[in-house]
Each structure stands twice: as structure tokens, then as C-alpha cells.
Amino acid sequence: MSNLHGKIALVTGASRGIGRSIARRLGQEGATIIVNYKTNAEKAQEVVHEIATVGGLAYAIQADVSKVADIQALFQQIEDRFGTLNILVNNAGTTVLSSIQETTEEEYDRVFAVNTKGVFFALQEAAKRMRDGGRIINISSGATVAITPGFGVYAATKGAIEQFTYVLARELGARGITVNAVLPGLVETEGLVLPPEELDKLIASTPLGRMAQSQDIADIVAYLASEQSRWITGQAIRAAGGLI
């Protein structure tokens, strides 16, 4: 894989989990990383330090992606400081495990605000500001394929992200900007909310025989951010070890 030296990459929700691994992976490839976080400045600075230890450059910028004003300010800061944006990874997300019957309005609004509204308006800013030939990668979920009770709201937010991906790929294709989604299956992170017995059954059903690590997803994102992925756009790539 060719390196990403000279590229500016924004990873939302990059202070932990999959986002943290993505930020580190892109940093290893030479990109300058914007580590976006909502509240945990200490964790974000840890990511910045981790990237620096392998010779990369990274900067932590706070923004709540559920708020359009924060998204706009985040992109403006990047433009003011770096002049351009080459790679956007929409990773920030939240979840709720609740049946449709029991989901509250607050839960519905909270999950849609981050997962759907936040991604949409980040895509809007990227479409306006990103340099031609850029890369946009949206983190969706295998929950849009493996229909699971309790994930109605969460899966709906991620399904919307996939539709944004398909449409924006066509809208930005003439500029050489690729737009793809990655659908992780089971990933061992602190955000995993399934009960242990359900996890065991799903792992047993996975052809590759294990749960993913966040690095597995980060490697796929790094490929989609590279020049080698230039002929891939408008795709929802299942990254679940064959489970979906």
C-alpha cells in the first residue's frame, strides 16, 4: 500500500475503540490526523501521543458531531490550519439496545443525532471543502444486514449512512472523490453491548472463528483511504469475518 504522506485526515470519534485504531493506522501511513473527540480530551491526547511515537503528526480537536454548528466549526478549523482535507472517516457513533416497543423518544433522538444527522452534515462539509481525489469512509454496521431484535433504531441510523454513501458517491464521482462504507460485524471494543451468551453464538457462526479486533477494521479503512482504492466507490463493504 502506498503511504499517505501529505494527506490530512479527519477521524470523528477517534479517542477510543475503532476510531482510535483507525487514527493510529492512518497515522502510521503518514497522514496528518485530526483526532476528533466529544468530551474525553485526555484519551484524545493519548491517541495524538501514540501517533507521534511512530513518527506521525496528529492534533486533537473537540467537537460534538450531533451539533451542526460544531461540525461546521471543526471543518473550518481544519481548513484554517491545514488548508485542505483529503480523507474523512465518519466513525463517531452511539447505540441503544432496546426493542422498538420500549425505545424512548430521548433514545431515538440521541442515536439519530449522532449516527445520522452528524454523519450527514459532516458529509455536507466534506463535499464543500474536500480536495478533488479525496476519500470518504463511513463506518456503518453489520446490524443493517443481520437483523437482530433490539437494534431497530441503531440499525436504522446505520442504514441511512449507507444510503448517504451510495448517493454521495455519485454526486462526487466527477471530482475523483470516492465514498464508501464499512460494515463491521462483532468487534471487541468497550461499545459492544450484546450479552455474553449471544456473543458466543455469533462467534461460533463466524467462518473465520473469532471476534474482530479494531485493527481489523482499521486496516480496511486504510486501504480505502489509499490510492490503490481509487476504483472503488459507492460500496458497503462487509467486514465481519464472513458472519454477514
pLDDT band at 2; cut points 50, 70, 90: low
pLDDT of residue 244: 86
Mean pLDDT of the chain: 95
- Express each pLDDT in 176-193 by its tens digit: 999 999 999 988 887 676
CATH code: domain 8-237 is 3.40.50.720
Measured CA to CA in angstroms, residue 235 lies from 36, 115, 151, 199 at distances of 25, 19, 23, 27
Catalytic residue among 37, 154, 166, 223: 154
pLDDT of residue 197: 81
Q: Does the reported pTM lie above 0.85?
A: yes
Q: Is 90 exceeded by the pLDDT of residue 28?
A: yes
The domain limits of the chain are 8-237
Q: Is 50 exceeded by the pLDDT of residue 44?
A: yes
Told to judge if 154 belongs to the known catalytic residues of this protein, a careful annotator would answer: yes
